[in-house]
Chain A
Amino acid sequence: MQTETLKKVNTSVEQEIEISGSEAVMKALVAEGVETIFGYPGGAIMPIYDALYDYRDQLEHVLVRHEQGGIHAAQGYARSSGKVGTVFATSGPGATNLVTGLADALIDSTPLVCITGQVFAHLLGTDAFQETDVINITTPVTKWNYQVTDANEIPAILAKAYYIAGSGRPGPVLIDITKNAQIQKFNYKGYEKCTHIRSYRPKPIVRNEYIQAAAAMINKAERPLVIFGQGVILGKAEKEFKNFIEQGGLPAAWTILGLSALETDHPLNVGMLGMHGNYGPNVLTNECDVLIAVGMRFDDRVTGRLDRYAKQAKVIHLDIDPAEIDKNIKADVPVWGDCKETLPLITALLDKKEYTSWRARFSECMDKEIEAVIENELNPTAEIMTMGEVIHQMNQITGGDAIIVTDVGQHQMVACRYAKFTESKSNITSGGLGTMGFALPAAMGAKYGAPDRTVVAIIGDGGIQMTIQELGTIMQNNIDIKILILNNHFLGMVRQWQQLFHERRYSFVDIDSPDYVTVAKGYRIEGNSVAKRENLVSALTTMLHHKGPYLLEVHVGKENNVFPMVPQGCGVSEVRLK
């Protein structure tokens, strides 16, 4: 009895307390289960940082070295944990530095809540110090954004922000809070999570007629091909997906954002799609009779030329976002909905099948690719090392259990092609936007999101120099990530295109590097650099077994190219092996 009365008193006290807008932000983050914030303070967000000082035991804050690093870290956190990432930045330049990360998170469907400080409401539009129109700058690159000018709005708006960021097709949300609202005291009535917004339908209704049509079409198929993307991971539908392909005996190929949703060694995993994908999935996309797309958006890097893409096939498209259906490829059967719900419904109607001879076609293509490309990439005879053999040797040590975070360029394609995965949410890369400089900060965040796992950031010599300042964050917080720089002394992907399509006119792709080991040492991070094959395995082993952050630079062939390749403007079956 007594405790009940006590409880009641406590709640009513909780209901009536007067707090500042900034403290309401802290209470919202705690209520949303936020563990880690990546941020950088500044004038217009100081009241929030002041409130954070009292919440240090409940909310971990990681001080990054640049706001872009902060938002990429939050992306890495979201991608490795499956939770919403949280970012703090100040007004003006703090907020504009988030733009690249917002665009990256929007196109790669990464759930984020970014809280930016803003000048006092009465100064809006006066060109005040560090005032910028953050809402309008970020409108095209956010799923939703909102400016708070009154503290009373804060609890409900943050509840909405976390709900919108994480539900349906996830994406970044930005909440801009004016300084007066951060300071303002108001009557706090408690925090209520948001579960419904009338104008927002995160999950389209599953329509049974399309489930049946999809199952019937698959059952009749002679040469079915499943292509899957990040929707499987975002929908936490890895098990449902595996059941689906195993029941139907369906060969499945992945986009680079779908990578790791299905373990590399699964017998139905036929490899990577797209521009630098595997030979089989590309060629056979144009021979399959039913193409089943699961949680992917037919990006041009996957489809190549659209009017030569799977013209012979009936297309079944499963997606949670109705705007993706028929956007690039016309769907014969559109299956709107969360694939965690739709896949089991289709699986239940599937006949058990094998497609032995059709699947053998993939093996034949793989043999061809091994002979033409892979063998020489993984076990090269030339003196200089290849990127592929570095990844291959790393696989031998990790067994495919590590989280691989890649930057953008040749090393990214090679890592996606050759890295092994045994677990989902293990491949973190900037796919849609192709943001160089993504990997180092994203790897930091990935480690916070999955602290028990090994995190390896694989980065080229171009990308590392774009966000190298985050070594400072890694140093200060002793973030245990492994930084593997594949240095070919070129902006390799651009150079490859210049070689193939611009008559070797190497226009501004020759890039010098600092002595990375010395730079790392300056940040009190251990490191090593290898140029000879005989030192590779021991260097990788040292790095992976090292306690704490470690940087390893590997010098690889300067003018090695990534193959296979579907040249721009070509159909996927025109994929070149050399």
Chain B
Amino acid sequence: MNMKQEYTLMVYAENQVGLLNRIAIIFSRRKINIESLNTSPSEVEGIHRFNIVIHETEVMVKKVVRQIEKQVDVLKVYFNTNDNIIWQELALYKVPTEIIAEKVKVERLLREYGARVVAIRKDFTIFETTGHREETDKLIEVLAPYGLIEFVRSARVAIIKDSKGFHEKLKEFEQTEPVPLAPEDPISEEEANSSIV
């Protein structure tokens, strides 16, 4: 409970200029580093979704989640450990075509690392792969000896395994009168104390 681990926060919010900053400073104020951040539309039209990955204790995550939910333009925040989500990151690798064509068994590479070729030019080739961090990292190792020119990895996108989506939840928010929120367990004493200096 008091151990730091990876948490993925999913923030459903209105698409407002400045909201990213409002959310980001909640982390920076507490000196929490954001490991990965992705913003995208959600399954509901007009509702934006932030995926934020942090390495923190559960107690701190809960406090931060409440601070984010407190923001006027935020509808709901979910937080999960990696066990409860399906997540992917996308990576692109730019390598010199000459060397790759000559020295690498491209077919095997594509098969083994689930990669695909997205562009082939005379001077360079671009591979793409999606997967977890370890998987995309592995391909860097393989390609490095052949003169990896450029590498980029996207932020994490994730879906909660047992989520039913936000359509139903949104209906609750659109009602003028508040509806009961799902009961949340209060933080245990042990947890609460762990963050106390």
Interface residues of A, Cβ cutoff 8 Å to B: 135-136, 139-140, 143-147, 164, 195-201, 203-205, 207, 306-307, 321-323, 325-332, 334
**What DSSP secondary structure best describes chain B's contact surface?**
mixed
What residues on B are CB-neighbors of A146 within 8 Å? 18
Q: Are B178 and A203 in contact (CB under 8 A)?
A: yes
Q: Are A198 and B178 in contact (CB under 8 A)?
A: no
> When A164-B72, A205-B178, A205-B181 are in contact, do A136 and B196 touch as well, CB less than 8 Å?
no
A198 and B172 CA atoms in complex are apart in Å by 9
Beyond A139-B25, A330-B193, 8 extra complex contacts between A and B, CB < 8 Å: A139-B22, A140-B25, A164-B72, A204-B181, A205-B181, A323-B67, A326-B63, A326-B187
What residues on B are CB-neighbors of A331 within 8 Å? 186
Scoring B residues 159 to 173 as 1 if CB is less than 8 Å from chain A, else 0, what string do you get? 000000000001001
What residues on A are CB-neighbors of B61 within 8 Å? none
Q: Are A322 and B69 in contact (CB under 8 A)?
A: yes
Q: Are A199 and B192 in contact (CB under 8 A)?
A: no
Residue in contact with A326 in the complex, picked from B13, B14, B17, B186, CB distance below 8 Å: B186
Say whether B137 faces chain A, with CB atoms less than 8 Å apart: no
> When A199-B14, A204-B181 are in contact, do A321 and B25 touch as well, CB less than 8 Å?
no
What residues on B are CB-neighbors of A205 within 8 Å? 178-181
What residues on B are CB-neighbors of A201 within 8 Å? 173, 178
Q: Are B75 and A139 in contact (CB under 8 A)?
A: no
What residues on A are CB-neighbors of B73 within 8 Å? 144, 199-200
A139 and B29 CA atoms in complex are apart in Å by 12
A136 and B180 CA atoms in complex are apart in Å by 34
Q: Are A327 and B173 in contact (CB under 8 A)?
A: no
Residue in contact with A330 in the complex, picked from B67, B74, B180, B189, CB distance below 8 Å: B189
A439 and B193 CA atoms in complex are apart in Å by 36
A82 and B78 CA atoms in complex are apart in Å by 35
Q: Are A326 and B180 in contact (CB under 8 A)?
A: no
Q: Are A140 and B29 in contact (CB under 8 A)?
A: yes
A310 and B110 CA atoms in complex are apart in Å by 62
> Closest approach, in angstroms, between the C-beta of A308 and any C-beta of chain B?
10
Residue in contact with B72 in the complex, picked from A136, A147, A200, A329, CB distance below 8 Å: A200
What residues on A are CB-neighbors of B178 within 8 Å? 201, 203-205
Say whether B145 faces chain A, with CB atoms less than 8 Å apart: no
What residues on A are CB-neighbors of B180 within 8 Å? 205, 207
Interface range for B: 35 or more
What residues on B are CB-neighbors of A325 within 8 Å? 66, 186
A461 and B18 CA atoms in complex are apart in Å by 41
A488 and B5 CA atoms in complex are apart in Å by 53
**What DSSP secondary structure best describes chain A's contact surface?**
loop
A369 and B157 CA atoms in complex are apart in Å by 61
> When A144-B72, A306-B196, A329-B192 are in contact, do A196 and B176 touch as well, CB less than 8 Å?
yes
> When A140-B29, A205-B178 are in contact, do A135 and B72 touch as well, CB less than 8 Å?
no
A321 and B72 CA atoms in complex are apart in Å by 12
Q: Are B18 and A136 in contact (CB under 8 A)?
A: yes
- 5 tightest A-B contacts by CB? A330-B192, A323-B66, A306-B196, A144-B72, A326-B187
Q: Are A327 and B186 in contact (CB under 8 A)?
A: no
What residues on B are CB-neighbors of A196 within 8 Å? 176
A236 and B192 CA atoms in complex are apart in Å by 31
Say whether B174 faces chain A, with CB atoms less than 8 Å apart: yes
> Closest approach, in angstroms, between the C-beta of A159 and any C-beta of chain B?
14
What residues on B are CB-neighbors of A144 within 8 Å? 72-73
A568 and B25 CA atoms in complex are apart in Å by 28
> Closest approach, in angstroms, between the C-beta of A240 and any C-beta of chain B?
20
What residues on A are CB-neighbors of B176 within 8 Å? 195-196
A140 and B23 CA atoms in complex are apart in Å by 10
> Closest approach, in angstroms, between the C-beta of A280 and any C-beta of chain B?
25
A207 and B186 CA atoms in complex are apart in Å by 14
What residues on B are CB-neighbors of A321 within 8 Å? 70
- Contacting A at CB under 8 A, from B139-197, are 170, 173-174, 176, 178-181, 183, 186-189, 191-193, 196-197
What residues on A are CB-neighbors of B14 within 8 Å? 199
A-B contact pairs, 19 of them (CB 8 A): A139-B21, A140-B29, A144-B72, A144-B73, A145-B18, A146-B18, A164-B72, A198-B170, A198-B173, A201-B173, A201-B178, A205-B181, A306-B196, A307-B193, A321-B70, A327-B63, A327-B66, A330-B191, A331-B186
Say whether B116 faces chain A, with CB atoms less than 8 Å apart: no
Say whether B62 faces chain A, with CB atoms less than 8 Å apart: yes
> Closest approach, in angstroms, between the C-beta of B175 and any C-beta of chain A?
9
> Closest approach, in angstroms, between the C-beta of B28 and any C-beta of chain A?
9
Residue in contact with B66 in the complex, picked from A195, A307, A322, CB distance below 8 Å: A322
Q: Are A330 and B25 in contact (CB under 8 A)?
A: no
A143 and B22 CA atoms in complex are apart in Å by 10
Residue in contact with B186 in the complex, picked from A195, A203, A330, CB distance below 8 Å: A330
A139 and B66 CA atoms in complex are apart in Å by 17
> Closest approach, in angstroms, between the C-beta of A316 and any C-beta of chain B?
11
A102 and B175 CA atoms in complex are apart in Å by 31
Q: Are A135 and B18 in contact (CB under 8 A)?
A: yes
Q: Are B72 and A207 in contact (CB under 8 A)?
A: no
What residues on A are CB-neighbors of B74 within 8 Å? 199
A382 and B174 CA atoms in complex are apart in Å by 66
